[in-house]
Amino acid sequence: FGPDQWATTILLVILLSVGMMVFMPGMQPIEARKVLTIAITFGVSIGFAVLGAIVVAQRFIERQEGDRLAFPPVAELILAALMVAGLSIAVRIGIPLVPALMQGGGFQDVLNNFVERLPGVITPFTCTISLGLLCSYLGSMDWRWYRVLGVGALGNGLALMGAGWLVGHLFGGTVLAQFYQNPENAVRIIALSTGATGFVVGAMVLAMFNKSERVRRDTAERAAEDQHTDLRLRTAPSLAEHLDVPLSSRSEAADDLGRYARASVDALEGRYVCFRPAFSSADVINAYLVSVHWDEAASSLMFEERERIDAGHTQKGRVYIPDGRPFMSFVTVEKGAIRLIMVSRPEGSEPARGLVTTLSNPGGAHFTPASAPIVLRRVVDHTPQLGFVRPGAPDYETYRRELEMVMPAFGFFAKGPQPIPDESQRD
């Protein structure tokens, strides 16, 4: 989580604040200069809160590496929150003071406005503690990015909604009348708008922080293993000379697999329904499950087929992901036989589409090289129909349409050259 992410968070909060003050129902018309001043002040204050939370969470994760039940860093978070509150007070005085002085106003007017809106400091104070706790415990967990995003958004949104409710009750009626058409509804609007901001900030910060922490952890593990390998090579040179297989990091695949890091492919892990036309009949679709997971011993993504109706052809193997190319390969190598599934890397809810190349066994000792379109679609809510799916079955038409989309964007079969017509036969 670096300066770019931090600046993006501040900018997003500023834009959200401007949008809410301008477009939210129940708001009084506010002049543009005042809107920008309040939005920038609030955005910078939340930026301080994010920074304080991230620093405490990183220190906590480094100290308690691997101990997920460690007592939360309450003292550090409270100290960081107090520092954020102090910086927010300085910002709430300093930023409005500049335009006030440019328009001939005085420091006293700015100070009076600050005193009236002092309860607003509660929001960045709360945000520091909320984000700090969420990042400390969720920051390094091996969860899917959307799960971290959802829990972070919900947790921080609820925390800031509570802070907004408290701030609304502490504001005086004079302050509320300046911004809201019906001051009696102001507390509800403040709580909802502050909670919405917390929801967005929580989602953004937790998603980025979790990814950066996992990359940092993988990098540290790789560096430690590299250092350990160097030490072994220096202390046992005679043994190193006879090593044919290089040692690789548990969090990075070997060069011939694509040298991909675990953190960069964790979104590919999960269960997929895999379907393709059956080689025995063009109208039948063969559907089964494929599980993709990271194997620590192999230091790569592995796949394993499950629930195949033709269980004798069940396969498992490694996943090859070349850098800079939008396709990946599921490869099985066994006793000289090779089967290749080359499909696109799935983006969002889109499935992986491509071709399978293998040996078809129509019967007996007769084998024929065969290729067909194939689709891998992530299993989300329920497992679709598996086995040999025939026309009229519930999922048949869905499978058929998906397979129809493979050609030509995700694979094609080259045709052999056609015979050239004999000139003498044209007349």
Q: In this predicted structure, what is the pLDDT of residue 90?
A: 79
Using CA atoms, how far apart are residues 110 and 61, in angstroms rounded to an integer?
A: 41
3-state helix, strand, coil in the chain (%, to 5): 55, 20, 30
Using CA atoms, how far apart are residues 126 and 207, in angstroms rounded to an integer?
A: 20
Q: In this predicted structure, what is the pLDDT of residue 373?
A: 94
Question: Which among 42, 160, 170 has a CA at the least distance from the CA of 115?
Answer: 170
Place of tokens 């002092």: 118
SS3 388: strand
Q: Is the previous residue joined to 408 through a cis bond, with omega within 30 degrees of 0?
A: yes
Q: In this predicted structure, what is the pLDDT of residue 216?
A: 62
What single string gives the DSSP state of each residue in 137-167? HHTT----HHHHHHHHHHHHHHHHHHHHHHH
Low-confidence ranges of the chain (pLDDT < 50): 66-67, 223-248
Q: In this predicted structure, what is the pLDDT of residue 289?
A: 94
Are the CB atoms for 343 and 326 separated by under 8 Å? no
Q: Which amino acid is at 79?
A: L
Are the CB atoms for 226 and 157 separated by under 8 Å? no
pTM: 0.49
Q: In this predicted structure, what is the pLDDT of residue 355?
A: 95
CA distances from 242 to 65, 227, 231 (A): 36, 20, 16
| Domains, in order of start, for the chain | 3-220 (no CATH), 255-404 (2.40.128)
Q: In this predicted structure, what is the pLDDT of residue 239?
A: 33
Are the CB atoms for 359 and 335 separated by under 8 Å? no
Cα torsion 247, 251, 253, 259 to 10°: value is: -110
Strand extents, DSSP E, 312-422: 316-320, 327-334, 337-344, 352-363, 366-378, 387-389
